[in-house]
Amino acid sequence: MPTEPEFVVLPGSEREPLADAAPAGPLDTAQRAEVTLVLRRRAQLPDDVVAGPTVLSREELTERYGTDPADLERVRRVMASRGLQVTGADPGSRRVLVAGSLADLASTFGTMLRQVSSPDPGGRGTVTFRYREGPLYLPAELDGIVIAVLGLDTRPQAQAQFRVAPPSGSAAAAVGTSYTPNQVADIYQFPSGTTGARQTAAIIELGGGFAASDLDTYFGSLGLPVPSVTAVGVDGASNNPGDTSGADVEVTLDIEVLGAAAPGAAQVVYFAPNTDQGFVDAISEAAAASPAPVVISISWGQSEDSWTGQGRTAMDQAIADAAALGITVCAAAGDNGSSDGVGDGQPHCDFPASSPHALGCGGTTLQADPATDAISSEVVWNETAAGEGAGGGGVSDQFAVPSWQANAGLPARASGTPAAAGRGVPDVCGNADPTTGYQIYSGGQAQVVGGTSAVAPLWSALVARLAEATGTRFGLIGPLLYAGISPGVDVPGLQDITSGNNGAYAAGPGWDACSGLGSPNGTALLARLKGRPQPGERHGAAG
């Protein structure tokens, strides 16, 4: 902790101790590393820009709401005075990359770094990482200018939200079924005559990779063209099939669900380290791409309280930037029910699904006939008793209820502090139960996989097809979906799920904190969206 008067605490930077962190040898403080600084906006991003109907160009976002050049110059000067180097700057996303030795970085930001190990949040052994506790500090000249310093602590920030189907011969497998993603799209009445053509979808991955041979085999078996899939590395990560994270199934699931449900859409997969820095940088890079994606699919997350305040703020602002650019962000709501895997007996929301600028995607158990597309049963996914997970959802303790969700009939926050309702999750849902899962092909073998990891790319595929059909991009689609809502009443374009629970929350008529507004009827949703002016119409077709 620095004692010099020229240092101030960085709000929201506090890291609580990890109870299961164990020393893992000395940290080489001479090692060179790169961190991401997120700077303040030059002006607040207005609600009508985030929620529509205004859609900004990348240049407009940078000029109006990006980094003030004077702020950037001050950061450069202060970092240089501390022996650090600014290696990159993106005024649009307000990110500045700063590099130097770990010793100089720790000194500049007033912390002590150690090397520790702890259990992998995905349940695969242990992981070793840089670790810190307590708050960060800023040189006083940067007070109020820098809102986040990401990457000093490299603990895993999220886990993949997928669940592999129970093994054959088990009781759960005996009563289960499975579908190809295009069958699920047909069951959910995705608009006929659309494929997502001329649209680009971005996918965020924090580990693993894909093999082209798996994609060739899979899409060939479905009689579908192999979609255009481009891998982009962020913060030194890359497409790395077979890595020790076990995330290859997640990566392949995302690509194959999106590609089978929207075969005409091009995909760009952003691979980043599983850290708060990597997660934020990946979303920012995807949003800044040209052509801009119409949708970003995120199947990774973790309980809100596992994030620092600065990390949540930086991530939420990156998603808000995407919305302002007309990009819809679909995020999995979690696979551990209302507890979100936290062992304190209280409900918790998964982030980034709880961001008010994302479309939170929850899970159901779907029984349907692919031959007729008839649904015989759809209930909230909850196989907790069988150890097969449950759909996430609840009321955020970190984000206030957005204005467009205020009439949905949200319950009070579980914490009761403050008593007012918070952002409700999920917004929508779809088939996620691994016992009614998706047929995919990963690692050279056919598998059946579920989880809300599958729902995010499924809804992303629908957004791409709706964009193709309407010739526009939706950005923050929540205000459109919730328009005219009242408690206990279903909304057009969505099939209300009224049975089941995810632990603390039960389904019922209208919006609820386990199935949201319901699962999609894509054709009816398209008709509803065509009946009102759409965000970004004046900018032409989505790209």
Catalytic site positions? 250, 254, 453
Query: How many whole angstroms from its chain centre is CA 429?
Result: 15
Residue 419 to residues 107, 313, 390, 401: CA-CA distances in angstroms? Answer: 40, 22, 27, 12
Residues 504, 125: Cα–Cα separation, whole Å: 30
**C-alpha R_g of the chain:** 22
Residues 270, 252: Cα–Cα separation, whole Å: 13
AA identity, residue 280 = V
Spell out a b/e string for 450-465, using b for 16 or more CB atoms within 10 Å of the CB, else e.
bbbbbbbbbbbbbbbb
* The token pair that represents 437 in the structure block: 């899962």
Query: CB under 8 Å to 169, separation ≥6 — which residues?
Result: none
Token pair 């052994």 in the structure block, residue: 125
Residue 32 to residues 96, 98, 99, 111, 383: CA-CA distances in angstroms? Answer: 16, 11, 7, 16, 46
Kindly report the CA angle at 462 between 162 and 319, in degrees rounded to 5? 70
Q: What are phi and psi of 344, to 5 degrees?
A: -100, 5
90: enclosing H helix or E strand = strand 85-90
Contact 447, 164 (CB under 8 A): yes
Q: 120-124 long-range CB contacts below 8 Å, 24 or more apart?
A: 120/156, 120/245, 121/156, 121/158, 121/159, 121/302, 122/156, 122/159, 122/160, 122/245, 122/246, 122/247, 124/244, 124/245, 124/246
Residues 315, 324: Cα–Cα separation, whole Å: 14
DSSP secondary structure letter of residue 41: P
